[in-house]
């Protein structure tokens, strides 16, 4: 007959993600935001050859980066939430770095702080209006 401790071995374990400063366990407080590469240089930084990275970007406009994402964690020691760039290096091992602002441009599913560049200034201004004045906002020439 199996002992109770042997039967519970199949239960999934917590992710071993620790604070890089205090070495205490970090609690996730957000969803994972996947990263994508849209330039060949971003793939070359991750070890892909220049020729293969150019071919990958030419064939696909964006390439998903597996094993990398942005996620917010709560540190119990310093009592604050920080966003980290998480890289999975092994089966249950991770490397954390504070997420730089440039990395947010490679994330899917987030709103760009400067707004969508394909939207005109007029449309952006209209979307911020509280009251709708209709035709009054258009300057008709007589």
Specify the 3-state DSSP secondary structure of 51.
helix
What does pTM read for this prediction? 0.68
Tens-digit pLDDT profile for residues 43-75: 999 899 999 999 999 998 888 999 999 999 999
Q: How many residues does the chain have?
A: 142
Give the C-alpha separation, 127 to 129, whole Å.
Answer: 6
Q: Check residue 28 and give its pLDDT.
A: 92
Contact 110, 33 (CB under 8 A): yes
Give the C-alpha separation, 35 to 24, whole Å.
Answer: 26
Q: Check residue 61 and give its pLDDT.
A: 84
Check whether 79 has a pLDDT greater than 70. Answer: yes
Specify the 3-state DSSP secondary structure of 136.
helix
Check whether 114 has a pLDDT greater than 90. Answer: no
Query: Nearest-CA neighbor of 87 among 34, 39, 48, 26?
Result: 34
Give the C-alpha separation, 26 to 95, whole Å.
Answer: 13
């Amino acid at each position: 007959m199996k002992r109770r401790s042997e039967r519970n071995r199949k239960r999934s374990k917590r992710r071993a993600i620790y604070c890089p400063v205090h070495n205490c366990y970090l609690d996730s407080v957000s969803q994972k935001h996947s990263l994508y590469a849209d330039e060949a240089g971003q793939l070359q930084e991750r070890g892909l050859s220049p020729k293969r990275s150019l071919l990958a970007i030419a064939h696909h406009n964006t390439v998903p980066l597996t094993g990398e994402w942005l996620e917010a964690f709560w540190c119990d020691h310093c009592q604050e939430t920080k966003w980290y760039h998480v890289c999975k290096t092994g089966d249950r091992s991770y490397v954390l770095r504070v997420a730089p602002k440039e990395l947010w441009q490679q994330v899917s599913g987030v709103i760009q702080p400067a707004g969508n560049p394909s939207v005109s200034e007029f449309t952006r201004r209209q979307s911020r209006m509280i009251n709708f004045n209709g035709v009054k906002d258009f300057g008709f020439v007589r």
